[in-house]
Structure 1
Amino acid sequence: MTESNNNSLIMRALNAIERVGNKLPDPAMIFLISMLIIWGLSYIFSQMTFDAIDPRTGEAIVVNNLLTGDSLANFLSSMVRTFTGFAPLGVVLVAMLGVGVAEHSGFINAGLKLMLKVTPQALLTPSIILIAIVSHTATDAGYVLVIPLAGIIFYAMGRHPIAGIAAAFAGVSGGFSANFIPSGIDPLLQSFTQSGAQIIQPDILINPLNNWFFTSASSLFIILLGWYITDKIIEPRLQNTKVETDEDDDLPTFDELTAKDKKSFMIASGVMVLGLVLLYFAASSEDSPLRSPDGQLSSFSAPLMQSIVPLIFLLFWIPGAVYGFVSGSFKSSKDMIDAMTKSMNSMAYYIVMAFFCALFIAAFNNSNIGALMAIEGAELLKAAQLPSWLTIIGIIILTGIVNLFVGSSSAKWGLLAPIFVPMLMQLGISPDLTQAAYRVGDSTSNIITPLMPYFPLVVVYCQRYVKSTGIGTLISIMLPYSIALMVGWTIFLLIYWGLGIPLGLQSSYTYPAG
């Protein structure tokens, strides 16, 4: 079969997935229906006894019935808290308030025009993916900042904006475990890995950067893979998809900036740089209130890491306002408030989806069904007694499947680490390699599951350019990335392992370390 026939077959398959997926109910209704299904399953499974042991409690896993009177009463009484406490909701809305001012004042537009003059179009895709990968350092900043800006940048360059969104989404979420820069996720996963390893060796210590070399090398692999898929598969497929934008969208064009625009941008950029300098000095001292109690800046408990979203708000809102008033695009404070209102108008659909998504995720967590799936899957893998390399592949595949239903990386590893880590230690495989395998599986299926909290937000980003975008559209666009990452990244890990390249600091491939 020729390459053109292969490409045609792939395109037909993706088009079929898109058609089927878009025939599904609206995403908000999918979450509602899924919640009702979880309720029903919780009733059925609560009548059963399971032998699987919950590693968090040391007791047999129990599914909670969500259809009891007490459970339904708690559902109603906590509905508002469940919605307002849905973490992605606050992250998105607060960040978008600041970004909205910067966008509608023209600050982002001006910055992109200047950037596009110096960025070779041939390197645009890998540059976007690189920025998306590095954005992991700032927790969820990539979802609310990098992904929508990637669409704008591609649009300004005359390329299809959905391809830009897809490339950034693949870097932010599909390559979630790849990064050159250590982030809070490293010590978070290490803590679960170490606890699991101490079941076998109570005095063992795991370095928080035990996977740093591997995740750094993975970044290069993901950039190259994402570059190829975006330019050779995704964008050609989008050629016949017409871009539709609203007339009042402040999207950049190729027209030249005026002298006043350039002056306004330089002043606003100076204000942004000044803010970053002040932040640096505020965080640099050892007794800085932005540090965690143990003096760290990058741990999840550090106020700096917990302030990333408010900082995004300020670092875009203040320069955006300065640009608006200096350039004349803002005549009064009302214009600035109107810009923030306009950004919230674009989030209305996401807020509705977030309401039902929050209720579904709460029901799924409260039922314990996700924990049951993870533990039973791990026990089946353990019972299979596969060779070491097949066991690593099995961990990656199982994690990817569980990830379709349980979004939180730490929650999954909290369940799986006490099973996987000691099991593989008894096979002579180090905790460091087990954690690396988990990180690959945890990343690759993020971009194709509607149950991932930010998935509906990416649908909204796409609808800015193609109104008919639905769940099926986004899944069909992201599926090539997901499959390529699952297969390619797994092979990359096996080759990396085979070459004996260190996984990270104080890491090993074997147990005991040899």
Structure 2
Amino acid sequence: MSQQDTAVEKTGWLNRALNSIEVIGNKLPDPAMLFALLMLAVWIASWALSGVSFTEVNPRTGEAIVINNLLAPTSFTAFMASMVQTFVSFPPLGVVLVAMLGLGVAEYTGYINAGLRSILSVTPKMLLTPVLVAVGILSHIAVDAGYVLVIPLGAVIFYAAGRHPLAGIAAAFAGVSGGFSATFFLPSSLDPLLAGLTQASAHLSADPAAAELVINPLNNYFFTTASTVLIIIIGWVLTDKFIEPRLKATKVDGDPAELPTMEPLQDYERKGLRWATFAMVLSGVLLMVSAMPETSAWRSPVNGLLTDSSAPLMQSIVGIIFVFFLIPGVVYGYVAGTAKNHRDIIQGMSKAMSGMGYYIVMAFFCAQFIYAFGQSNLGALVAIKGAHALQQMALPMGFTLVGIVFLSGFINLLVGSASAKWALIGAIMVPMLMELGVSPDLTQAAYRVGDSSTNIITPLLPYFPLIVVFCQKYVKASGIGTLIALMLPFSIAMLVLWTAFLLGFWALDIPLGIGSSYTYPASQ
């Protein structure tokens, strides 16, 4: 039996297990339809429980919780009348679309592409792995650009350096997808998206003060930024010490004429990159200078610049993301010649929006589900009952956090969308843990760890088949089992070490982010 056959035999049990997960996952409805079905389930549950008396007391009224029948004529007509407002006021909708307008221009004109290629082309051979993982994390600012750009480039630069190309794919995949919730200094569109869903879930709490709670889009920023170091170390050590030695027996048998190469930056790209990066840095400096004076309009008159979510600077995070990528995108386009006039800039925005159609559909049904869930009082009932159950179990908070991480990681194997999972889990977990004094910021951070750690081992990830194709360009026999075998060590290491990292943050009371806390209320 050949070494290749032996390797396939050793991973046979894993292939069978993953095939079962894939079959189960494919039987689940589309996330948008799943929200619609859940909304129907909420309607039916509210009708069935509307006549039941509960002893749980609503802190807002001091009275026993009453489930509202959403199928009653007045409730149903109110739902229909508010449908449009419920959708357009859905917190994640606007912030994601606005951020994507700026990122779309930077990606369309080629600024992001040129920037990533520039970083990778000047990297010393001994630092290829950590830099590749870091660039994968950095690519999150362009949402899915890393999947179609960084991962194939990882194979190219490893192959050009005389290293196994599948190891390059593994390292890049670990950074792009395994480290999806890590942030390399610059926030990504995932930050405001998750924060918006967390805020919507927190408003389902029975606490009267929760209705006014505002979640800062950078509420996990310090934790996710520090996590970058951890993800880079995990990716570096596993790739160089475990993954690549294991691949020595795997022959690169792709057609040399068809293997992609990493094209060097052209003069026009270098020129555009220099001016665009200068424009971005200058924009950052001007923002800092304008925010420094005590009388700055960016500051809150009460609590300063960064410590108060009511400060205009904190309320402008999404707008700042938009501007910070729009400016270098435009500058790069005009200097490099990839944008001839304003119509090309608008075309870049339009292309970005054209890719958001599915998200908008999902957001519509998600918004209606959350509205119905809140109006029914089912969320308050579940939160209070769940809080009482956890109190009776008297589990240490560390065990509760670990439970959230592993629950999120498991559900991620069956539901691919990060926002869809958090909308489902958060609507229950956030208000429930708020009853126990756990802040929405900490609950969200635990979710992000679990969600990212298993991204790289689920065939239901939309880009998973594409990455298998990248592998097949170099090793023709590559399949789902090949990629899973490559990425499983990363997934296990991230799940264990990243969870421990979060527990360390919590134990040492290191701030999770801007305007965040570990307890609810924050002063507790």
How far, CA to CA, are the matches of 1:275 and 1:213 in structure 2? 22
Shift of 1:73: 1.2
CA contact (8 A) 1:392 1:437 kept: no
Could you tell me which of 276, 284, 299 is aligned with 2:308?
Answer: 299
Cα gap change, 1:418/1:23 in structure 2, threshold over 3 Å: closer, same or farther? Answer: closer
Cα gap change, 1:329/1:125 in structure 2, threshold over 3 Å: closer, same or farther? Answer: closer
Could you tell me which of 281, 288, 294 is aligned with 2:289?
Answer: 281
Partner of 2:80 in structure 1?
Answer: 76
Does structure 1 residue 155 correspond to structure 2 residue 163? Answer: no
How far, CA to CA, are the matches of 2:186 and 2:273 in structure 1? 30
The secondary structure found in structure 2 opposite 1:157 is helix
Cα gap change, 1:56/1:155 in structure 2, threshold over 3 Å: closer, same or farther? Answer: farther
Give % identity: 42
CA contact (8 A) 1:163 1:230 kept: yes
Does structure 1 residue 397 correspond to structure 2 residue 394? Answer: no
Deviation track 1:378-434 (CA, whole Å, cap 9, x = no partner) reads 212222346x5xx6414642687599676697995555344357xxxxxxxxxxxx9
Using the TM superposition, name which of 273-282 and 221-230 deviates more.
221-230
How far, CA to CA, are the matches of 2:394 and 2:52 in structure 1? 27
Shift of 1:278: 0.7
CA contact (8 A) 2:154 2:172 kept: no
How far, CA to CA, are the matches of 1:328 and 1:179 in structure 2? 29
Does structure 1 residue 93 correspond to structure 2 residue 97? Answer: yes
Shift of 1:229: 8.3
Does structure 1 residue 121 correspond to structure 2 residue 128? Answer: yes
Does structure 1 residue 108 correspond to structure 2 residue 112? Answer: yes
Could you tell me which of 57, 65, 77 is aligned with 1:61?
Answer: 65
Could you tell me which of 338, 344, 355 is aligned with 2:364?
Answer: 355
Structure 2: gaps spanning 5 or more residues: 1-5, 156-165, 203-219, 251-259, 412-420, 470-479, 512-516, 519-524
Could you tell me which of 330, 355, 366 is aligned with 1:321?
Answer: 330
Equivalent residue letter for 2:48: I
Deviation track 1:87-135 (CA, whole Å, cap 9, x = no partner) reads 2221222122111211121211211111111344311464257658xxx
How far, CA to CA, are the matches of 1:55 and 1:401 in structure 2? 28
- TM-score by structure 2 length? 0.65
CA contact (8 A) 1:440 1:490 kept: no
Using the TM superposition, name which of 476-485 and 144-153 deviates more.
476-485
Equivalent residue letter for 2:76: L
Partner of 2:263 in structure 1?
Answer: 255
Could you tell me which of 416, 419, 434 is aligned with 2:433?
Answer: 416
Structure 1: gaps spanning 5 or more residues: 133-141, 193-210, 240-251, 422-433, 451-457, 468-472, 509-514
CA contact (8 A) 1:147 1:165 kept: no
Shift of 1:492: 6.0
CA contact (8 A) 1:42 1:66 kept: yes
The secondary structure found in structure 2 opposite 1:264 is helix
Equivalent residue letter for 2:95: V
Shift of 1:362: 2.0
Partner of 2:37 in structure 1?
Answer: 33
How far, CA to CA, are the matches of 1:406 and 1:348 in structure 2? 18
How far, CA to CA, are the matches of 1:18 and 1:480 in structure 2? 20
How far, CA to CA, are the matches of 2:293 and 2:284 in structure 1? 15
- TM-score by structure 1 length? 0.66
CA contact (8 A) 2:43 2:71 kept: yes
Cα gap change, 1:440/1:274 in structure 2, threshold over 3 Å: closer, same or farther? Answer: closer
How far, CA to CA, are the matches of 1:463 and 1:51 in structure 2? 51
Shift of 1:51: 2.4
Shift of 1:481: 7.9
The secondary structure found in structure 1 opposite 2:392 is helix
Equivalent residue letter for 2:128: Q
Does structure 1 residue 270 correspond to structure 2 residue 287? Answer: no
Partner of 1:203 in structure 2?
Answer: none
Shift of 1:46: 2.3
Partner of 2:215 in structure 1?
Answer: none
Deviation track 1:184-236 (CA, whole Å, cap 9, x = no partner) reads 99xx99xx9xxxxxxxxxxxxxxxxxx99998876655555577789989xx9
Cα gap change, 1:272/1:370 in structure 2, threshold over 3 Å: closer, same or farther? Answer: same
CA contact (8 A) 2:334 2:340 kept: yes
